[in-house]
Every structure is written in structure tokens, then in C-alpha cells.
Structure 1
């Protein structure tokens, strides 16, 4: 199912590709995701942020790696969702995922001004992508 591939990719970029039997691409995406996550201290920042240490979370994250992540994440979700159905319209379906990636980038850039940065960045990415999956479910 198309939605399952996208949801797997939302949980861990690369797993949706593996679900679609694109194992090499999935492993490459997993490696890129782990590299970016480890060197950007993204999980550490999420942990600190969700436990109320918002200022510490902002200090812990490496923005050079963080700013790559939203676009990569949105692409991984779209790629898993798009390739799960043969003959889907690439142009139309990509638009809403691009919007999610851009919103995630802007949220990451302005994260110092957000009350709960990691949650806000995640939600502004995921909500448009879920909406796009619903809107373009017939594509």
C-alpha cells in the first residue's frame, strides 16, 4: 500500500523504499539519515526539547546538518509514496511534499523564535505531507 510506504519513510527515511523493494536506495537513504542525525545532534535536540530544555536543545543542534534534514526527509517520504504506485503523476504529487520540505526548512531557520522548536518543525513538515497524501490518493 502506498500510504504504508510513506508512513514507514516518515518513521525512518529509507524504510519506505525498502518496503517498495528498492533496497539499495533504502540503505543509502538510511545511511544519509543516520549520518545527518548523528552529526547534527538532531535526536539529542528532540530529546532535550520534549523534556522542556528548549534553550539547551537549540545549543545542542548543529545547524549545518539540521538545515539539510527537512528537505531530505520530505524527499524520502515523497519518493516512497510516489514509487509505491506505478504510473503516478510525478509533477502534481511532488508539489505538496515540496511545500512540506520548505516549511520545515523555514521552521528550522527560525527555530530560535519558536516555543517548542523540534515539535513545530516536525509538524509543519508532516501535516502538509499527510494532507498531500490524502489529496492525491487517487493519482
Structure 2
């Protein structure tokens, strides 16, 4: 199922590809995901942010690596969702995922000005992608 593959990738980029049977691609995406998390200190920032330490979360994050993450994340979710259905329309279905990646980049750029940075950036990415999965569910 397409939505299950996409939800697996929302949880952890690469899991949707593994669910689709693309083991090498999924493993590569998991390695790249861990690279982004370790060097960008994304998980530490999420932990601090969700515990109310918003300024410390911003200070902990390495924005050089964080700025690479939203596009990668949106691509992983789209790739898992798109490849779960044979002969899917590639041109239209990518638009909500590109939008999610773009909004995530904008959120990351202005993250130090957001009240709850990690949650806001995550919702900027995930909401357009889920809307796209609903709108394009038959394509």
C-alpha cells in the first residue's frame, strides 16, 4: 500500500523503500538519515525543543547540515509513496512533496525565529505531503 510506504518513510527515511522491497536504496537512505541526524544534531534539537528549551534547541543545531535535510526527507517520502504503485504519474504527484521540502527549507532558514522550531518545521513538511497523498491517492 502506498500510504503505508509513505508513513514508514515519514517515521524514518529509508523504511518505506525497504517496505517496497528496495533494500539497497532503503539502506542508503537510512545511512544518509543518520549522517544528517548525527552531524546536524537534529535529534538533540528535537529533544530540547519538546522539553521547552527552544533557544537551546536552536543553539544545538548545526544549520549547515539541517538545511540539507528537508529536501532529502521530502524526497524519501515521495520516493516510497511513488514507487509503491506501478505506473504512477510522476509529474503531478511530486508537487506536494516538493512544496513540503521547500517549506521545510524556509522553516529551517527562519528556525531561530520560530516559537517551537522543530515542531513547526516538521509540520511545514509533513502537512503538504499528507495532503498530496490524499489528493493524488488514485494516480
TM-score normalised by length of structure 1: 0.99
Deviation at 1:124, TM superposition (A): 0.6
Displaced runs of 4 or more, over 2 A: none
Q: How does 1:62-101 map to 2 (within 5 A)?
A: 62-101=62-101
1:134 aligns with 2:134: yes
In structure 1, the gaps of 5 or more residues are: none
For residues 112 and 57 of structure 2, the distance between their equivalents in structure 1, rounded to whole angstroms, comes to: 10
Deviation at 1:134, TM superposition (A): 0.1
Size of the aligned set, in residue pairs, is 139
Aligned counterpart, 1:16: 16
For residues 49 and 64 of structure 1, the distance between their equivalents in structure 2, rounded to whole angstroms, comes to: 19
In structure 2, the gaps of 5 or more residues are: none
For residues 45 and 119 of structure 2, the distance between their equivalents in structure 1, rounded to whole angstroms, comes to: 11
For residues 12 and 29 of structure 2, the distance between their equivalents in structure 1, rounded to whole angstroms, comes to: 9
SS, match of residue 76 in structure 1: helix
For residues 118 and 96 of structure 1, the distance between their equivalents in structure 2, rounded to whole angstroms, comes to: 20
